[in-house]
Structure 1
Amino acid sequence: MTSVTTLFSPVEADLCLLADNLKELVGARHKLLYAAAEHLFGAGGKRIRPAIVLLLARATTPDHKISPKHRRLAEITEMIHTASLVHDDVVDESALRRGVPTVHSSFGNRVAILAGDFLFAQSSWYLANLDNLAVVKLLSRVIMDLAEGEMQQGLSRFDPELSFDAYLEKSYYKTASLIANSSKSVGVLSDTAPALTEQLYSYGRSLGLAFQIVDDILDFTGSEEMLGKPVGSDLRSGNLTAPVLYAMEEFSGLAALIEREFSQSGDFEQAVDWVQSSQGIARSRQLAKQYTQQAIESLAGLKPSESRQSLEDISEYNLRRLH
């Protein structure tokens, strides 16, 4: 399968520059934070979010050049994303992320929480210095959405009455909001027509939801080696996702196992078996496909270019992760 990084060829050099800048922006004055920044922004990250920002910047400017404000927006986007991951890993007590030790497992909870806070603070500072109130509002909303999504997930753990709409809303807050609003911010900085700016938002929203749904499918179909965590980890922690919600429509006993938090021997194994035996994974795959198609259609307002093609390819790559 094609590596996602090969899809970033129009902005490959820009992403290398971004990684170096992030380490300097975050940790230059603090040795411990610099060590954490090296850990966070070193090799291994896919950097899909800043890549989307940079590709959209090239696709929306007449000369296909990336302005300093576009570059800073990409850096802010990755800072916000990384800060949310650091905090999520502390809350979830995750020792690994994608098979790599998390910040809190390497440096301790105190440093991890401070590093996450510092990243959010730094992103806010650089955001303010863009001197664009519309973009400040868009990205500030993202930080609110991330917190809202995490709270919603915490409050709905092991709740078999969670609605599908609530699941999609939480998925938007936790994953799609950042991609959607950073994509829209590119349009604002590029001074695109309002209709196209909204289409860029739609691209990011649809792609973000598709990515989350694919991740939720992989929680049941991927290997522990690929996921960097045990299969079914989200379900075991009480996080109910699309495959589980669909499976509950077929297997009425699944709700009871979830409600008692898999407290009896064999509960969790039975729950995973029901999810994998149901149409939940196939239906989730179809839903991800629908959102992917919506994302690609939202790019129709952009002129054909290498960058636009990469944005379409990233959307399709997401679905190929399931094969």
Structure 2
Amino acid sequence: MKLLDIFGALKKDMDVIEQQLYRSIEGDEDLLSETSLHLLKAGGKRLRPVFVLLGGKFGDYDLNKLQHVAVPLELIHSASLVHDDVIDDAGTRRGKPTVKAKWDNKIAMYTGDFIYAKALMMATTLENPELHRILAKAMVQMSIGEMEQIRDFFNTDQSVRNYLLRIRRKTALLIAISCQLGALAADAPSSVHHRLYRYGYNVGMAFQIRDDLLDLLGTEKTIGKPPGSDMRQGNITLPVIYALQEEGLRAPLLAELEQIRAAGLTADTSSAINMIRRSEGIRQSEELADRFIAKAFNALEGLPECKAKSHLKEIALFVNKRSY
């Protein structure tokens, strides 16, 4: 089964989620609604809402409840992207101009704040205090992850452990709670939503590692941004960290990274990319992503056999082998 087949099976409910996403940012202030709509129309995989709906399949499935989890989680993800683009000085995302590029940094920051606020407003309709606690804690951790990334810009001495802690906060936690909160909102047993959290966490870790690999292996057409964008922005990702550990490669790669740092966003990263592609860093990163996917599959063991479980397995496979 392909990812499109899974989305097709959920199309009716995902259409409702998509409509609610747009409605959630309407009104209040024309410019903020316009900038928020620009971001949402740029698209995205909408994986987080899909995880919410699939998590809900393990309990008392109620779209009226689940949409008040799925929409806020996608809005939180979207808001974080707006802020990321300001920090990274990114001109494009998914092949389209970012909010900061089309307007400016100030408008982009207020757009992100506006979307965060809309997410919290929608989530307040849910009565379960545990759900609010999990959501708030994840948002705090995401903010810490953002600060850690800024702190480690062009830090060529950072460890694999530091990298993993950072992507846990920046990416994996939101995917983990998307799976968990869908089940929680559907009143699934605690053993179920704990397993789904572990599944989502490990898929999220693999997702970010694969994202970092695509930045080095993909093309501008497939990834929607110039290859090597992470390096230009000072973000030292896992394949680079591994490559820097190779004795014969460390010195020349450090020299290339220093040149990229000096040139900024106009830097030519082709030489550094070629070095990393020839290193063991690509293979090591792929192997680590594979291990996270194996852990995700293990977390699903013990859950009842159903279409949702099969869909989660297929999504995990897609995440680890995706080319966009």
Q: TM-score, normalised by structure 1?
A: 0.91
- Equivalent-residue separation in structure 2 for 1:311 and 1:277 (angstroms): 33
Q: How does 1:96-245 map to 2 (within 5 A)?
A: 96-245=92-241
Q: Does 2:263 correspond to 1:262?
A: no
**After the TM superposition, which of the residue ranges 106-115 and 226-235 deviates more from structure 2?**
106-115
Residue of structure 1 equivalent to 2:301 = 300
Q: Which of 78, 85, 88 pairs up with 2:81?
A: 85
Deviation of the 1:27 alpha carbon = 1.7
- Equivalent-residue separation in structure 2 for 1:141 and 1:129 (angstroms): 18
- 3-state SS of 2:260 partner: coil
- Equivalent-residue separation in structure 1 for 2:157 and 2:256 (angstroms): 10
- 3-state SS of 1:27 partner: coil
- Equivalent-residue separation in structure 2 for 1:42 and 1:204 (angstroms): 25
Contact 1:50 1:77 in 2 (8 A): yes
Residue of structure 2 equivalent to 1:279 = 280
Deviation of the 1:36 alpha carbon = 2.4
**After the TM superposition, which of the residue ranges 252-261 and 171-180 deviates more from structure 2?**
252-261
Cα 1:263/1:173, change in 2 over 3 Å: closer
- Equivalent-residue separation in structure 1 for 2:167 and 2:11 (angstroms): 29
**After the TM superposition, which of the residue ranges 6-15 and 206-215 deviates more from structure 2?**
6-15
Deviations, residues 100-125 of structure 1 (Å, cap 9, x unaligned): 11122223323222111011112122
Cα 1:35/1:86, change in 2 over 3 Å: same
Residue of structure 1 equivalent to 2:38 = 39
Deviations, residues 34-66 of structure 1 (Å, cap 9, x unaligned): 3223322236321011111111112x125xx33
Contact 2:91 2:98 in 1 (8 A): yes
**After the TM superposition, which of the residue ranges 284-293 and 166-175 deviates more from structure 2?**
284-293
Cα 1:114/1:262, change in 2 over 3 Å: closer
**Structure 2, unaligned runs of 5 or more:** none
Contact 1:76 1:127 in 2 (8 A): yes
**After the TM superposition, which of the residue ranges 252-261 and 288-297 deviates more from structure 2?**
252-261
- Equivalent-residue separation in structure 1 for 2:33 and 2:242 (angstroms): 44
Deviations, residues 77-105 of structure 1 (Å, cap 9, x unaligned): 10100010111111111111010111222
**Structure 1, unaligned runs of 5 or more:** none
- Equivalent-residue separation in structure 2 for 1:79 and 1:109 (angstroms): 19
**After the TM superposition, which of the residue ranges 266-275 and 96-105 deviates more from structure 2?**
266-275
Residue of structure 1 equivalent to 2:10 = 11
Deviation of the 1:264 alpha carbon = 7.3
Deviation of the 1:210 alpha carbon = 0.5
Contact 2:184 2:193 in 1 (8 A): yes
- Equivalent-residue separation in structure 2 for 1:78 and 1:254 (angstroms): 41
**After the TM superposition, which of the residue ranges 177-186 and 280-289 deviates more from structure 2?**
177-186
- Equivalent-residue separation in structure 1 for 2:163 and 2:261 (angstroms): 24
- Equivalent-residue separation in structure 2 for 1:31 and 1:173 (angstroms): 33
Cα 1:103/1:201, change in 2 over 3 Å: same
- Equivalent-residue separation in structure 2 for 1:312 and 1:88 (angstroms): 30
Residue identity matched to 1:235: M
Q: Does 2:69 correspond to 1:69?
A: no
- Equivalent-residue separation in structure 2 for 1:115 and 1:228 (angstroms): 22
Contact 1:213 1:284 in 2 (8 A): yes
Deviation of the 1:233 alpha carbon = 1.2
Identity of aligned residues (%): 34
Contact 1:257 1:271 in 2 (8 A): no
Contact 2:49 2:71 in 1 (8 A): yes
Deviations, residues 129-173 of structure 1 (Å, cap 9, x unaligned): 312111111111121122111110110111111011110010011
Residue identity matched to 1:144: V
- 3-state SS of 1:260 partner: helix
Contact 2:253 2:275 in 1 (8 A): no
Cα 1:112/1:275, change in 2 over 3 Å: same
Residue identity matched to 1:284: S
- 3-state SS of 1:29 partner: coil
Contact 2:82 2:109 in 1 (8 A): yes
Cα 1:104/1:238, change in 2 over 3 Å: closer
Q: What number of residue pairs does the alignment pair up?
A: 319
- 3-state SS of 1:7 partner: helix
Residue of structure 2 equivalent to 1:50 = 49
Contact 2:13 2:63 in 1 (8 A): no
